[in-house]
Amino acid sequence: MKIKLLKISKNLEPFFKNLPPFSHKTKNWFYRYLSIVALIVGILFGLYALSFWQTGHTSIIGPNTTYTQSGLPINPIYNLNIFYYINFILLLVNTVIFIVAYFSLRSKTDNGWLTVFSGLLVYVLYGVFALFSPIDGGLGAFIMTLIFCFIGFYILYQIKPLYTVKLKAKKVKTKKTK
């Protein structure tokens, strides 16, 4: 899995390398606080997943609602399809990915960078399925997902050299100790 993620990141790297670079101070800030940002994003994904589920399973009472003799509405909740449930699962997966990334990023390993990278890839997949979802879906959701992912990938590729330098330093230390 790690090898596949590295191949995907290598394929995306030329596009993000040509964008304007961050200042050294900004790179260090993101390097230092990315773990906290990942935890906040993971919590927000979890809250969004709960809201997404609640929205899909709450009946809407409107002018076209018919009622039973006892006064209860006979209104279908929504016409939920498979894309709604796939998106819900993807939101839960992203919640777990970003919370796991918090622990990997605290130790400043390249696994943390790859975990956030995989979370962004899952979020792109969420955007594709959101095109067909009856709840929070459509073209607008897809475009917003792409914008958020672009910003996330841009930040990740700006700080990627900091993680590879740390990885190379660890390899040099292990060679010297042997």
User: What are the DSSP calls for 19-58, one per residue?
Assistant: SPPPPHHHHHHHHHHHHHHHHHHHHHHHHHHHHHHHHHTS
Q: Are 99 and 119 in contact (CB under 8 A)?
A: no
Q: Where are the chain's structural domains?
A: 26-56+77-177
**Which structure tokens are listed for 146?**
């792409």
Question: So what's the pLDDT on residue 62?
Answer: 58
Question: So what's the pLDDT on residue 165?
Answer: 56
Q: Are 90 and 122 in contact (CB under 8 A)?
A: yes
Q: How far apart are CA 85 and CA 131, in angstroms?
A: 13
3-state SS class at 15: helix
Instruction: State the pTM of this model.
Output: 0.80
**Which structure tokens are listed for 176?**
């010297």
Question: So what's the pLDDT on residue 41?
Answer: 96
Q: How far is CA 144 from CA 66, 83, 124, in A?
A: 36, 18, 10
Q: Which amino acid is at 129?
A: F
The string of pLDDT tens digits covering residues 60-97 is 555 556 666 666 655 555 567 899 899 999 999 999 99
Question: So what's the pLDDT on residue 108?
Answer: 84
Question: So what's the pLDDT on residue 39?
Answer: 96
Residues of the chain with pLDDT below 50 are 167
